[in-house]
């Protein structure tokens, strides 16, 4: 199973590398070498450094929010360990479909650092709940204030934006239902699983029972985490503030790129709105880093803002927010792997199965 997991990650890395090459070739052959050279000459490298620092700040805030939750239940946790695991989470989010690999691998690396699995899972679930809530509210505000402005010009894209927003909203509604109506949610979930058994999607009674057991544990974990969060109002406020700042900094990276080309005439909130719409579209695409959808929606929303620099600005943004985390995370994973040895050498991980964790952490 571990070898299969490694092969899958290698394949995803190869796919990411091919996507990077395709993007470069697109700029060179479609935009033309002259336009590329002109774009490079026009761009102020100092703003590239600022944009990279914004991405680093985004990582730091991710770690700060996670550490705030983890420190509450595991006081001896060191921030540098949380930061390393947060960066590794970003890496695995980038190379796995729908960002599905980040949290399971974070639980794994936290365990390697000596953090109890129950503590790291509670912190990660708490961070996920707060992040989803803030992202949904943030997106709702942007949609309310700017939907009319974009609806006429980007009707098909805005339909995808609304669809992405609905998905995020459904996730929050389901989480709230688990928090406040746990028993009805369980009954509904178990009924759905048994129905899948009756129509033979789940082939055997053992499969049905196994799924019911897994779903029961997931619902209990989420309910317990809501109870934990509700008992810490000060922690909630801090994590919400960290997440608002984190998302704003991430969305503002495109504004820094905009300034780097010496452009003007578009305000910060318009660019943040475009970036939020790109994220909403990308959120439900089941590919590593939402490849294709992210670049395409970015180029569409920012086409008039960047003009002839659209392709190169898309490349800069994509490199900073997707390929840069992959490079940093890959180097870090190799370093951590050599520093800590193989899983078989760590007694704390003897009975820890990443695929089991994956069933518990969303």
Whether 148 contacts 250, CB under 8 Å = no
Q: Which two tokens stand for residue 56?
A: 């680093």
pLDDT, tens only, 164-222: 899 888 888 888 888 788 888 888 888 988 888 888 787 788 888 888 888 888 888 87
Locate the domains of the chain by residue range.
Answer: 2-360
Distance from C-alpha of 226 to C-alpha of 298, rounded to nearest angstrom: 35
- Kindly report the number of other CB atoms within 10 A of residue 109's CB atom: 23
Distance from C-alpha of 111 to C-alpha of 73, rounded to nearest angstrom: 15
Whether 263 contacts 96, CB under 8 Å = no
pLDDT, tens only, 8-54: 667 778 878 888 888 888 888 877 888 888 888 999 999 999 999 99
Q: Which two tokens stand for residue 77?
A: 């946790």
Tens-level pLDDT at each residue, the chain (362 residues):
455 556 666 777 887 888 888 888 888 887 788 888 888 899 999 999 999 999 999 999 999 999 999 998 889 999 999 999 999 999 998 888 767 777 888 999 999 988 888 888 888 988 988 998 999 999 999 999 988 888 888 888 888 888 889 988 888 888 888 878 888 888 888 898 888 888 878 778 888 888 888 888 888 887 887 788 788 889 999 999 999 999 999 999 999 999 999 999 899 999 999 999 999 888 777 777 777 788 888 999 998 999 889 999 999 999 999 999 999 998 998 888 777 654 444 444 444 444 444 444 43
Whether 281 contacts 153, CB under 8 Å = no
SS3 350: coil
**DSSP character string of 14-32:** HHHHHHHHHHHHHIIIII-
Q: What is the value of pTM for the model shown?
A: 0.85
Q: 208: closest CA among 221, 217, 195?
A: 195
């Amino acid at each position: 199973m571990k070898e299969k997991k490694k092969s899958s990650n290698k394949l995803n890395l190869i796919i990411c590398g091919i996507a990077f090459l395709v993007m470069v070739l697109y700029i060179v052959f479609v935009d033309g070498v002259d336009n590329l050279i002109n774009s490079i000459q026009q761009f102020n490298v100092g703003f590239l450094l600022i944009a990279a620092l914004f991405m680093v700040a985004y990582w730091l805030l991710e770690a700060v929010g996670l550490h705030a939750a983890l420190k509450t239940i595991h006081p001896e946790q060191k921030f540098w360990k949380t930061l390393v695991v947060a960066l590794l989470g970003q890496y695995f989010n980038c190379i796995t479909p729908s960002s599905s690999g980040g949290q399971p691998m974070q639980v794994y690396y936290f365990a390697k650092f000596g953090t109890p699995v129950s503590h790291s899972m509670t912190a990660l679930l708490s961070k996920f709940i707060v992040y989803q809530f803030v992202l949904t509210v943030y997106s709702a505000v942007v949609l309310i204030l700017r939907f009319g402005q974009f609806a006429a010009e980007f009707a098909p894209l805005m339909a995808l934006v609304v669809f992405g927003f609905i998905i995020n909203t459904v996730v929050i509604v389901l989480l709230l239902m688990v928090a406040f109506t746990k028993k009805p949610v369980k009954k509904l979930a178990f009924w759905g699983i048994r129905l899948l058994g009756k129509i033979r999607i789940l082939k055997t009674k053992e499969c049905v029972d196994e799924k019911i057991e897994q779903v029961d544990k997931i619902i209990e974990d989420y309910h317990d985490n809501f109870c934990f969060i509700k008992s810490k109002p000060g922690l909630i406020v801090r994590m919400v503030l960290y997440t608002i700042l984190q998302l704003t900094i991430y969305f503002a990276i495109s504004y820094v790129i905009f300034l780097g080309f010496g452009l003007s005439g578009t305000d910060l909130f318009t660019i943040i709105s475009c970036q939020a719409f790109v994220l909403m579209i990308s959120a439900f695409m089941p590919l590593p880093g939402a490849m294709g959808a992210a670049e395409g929606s970015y180029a569409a929303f920012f086409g008039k803002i960047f003009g002839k620099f659209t392709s190169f600005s898309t490349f800069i943004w994509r490199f900073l927010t997707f390929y840069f985390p992959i490079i940093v995370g890959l180097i870090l994973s190799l370093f951590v792997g050599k520093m800590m040895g193989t899983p078989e050498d760590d007694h704390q991980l003897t009975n820890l199965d990443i695929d089991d964790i994956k069933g518990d952490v969303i």
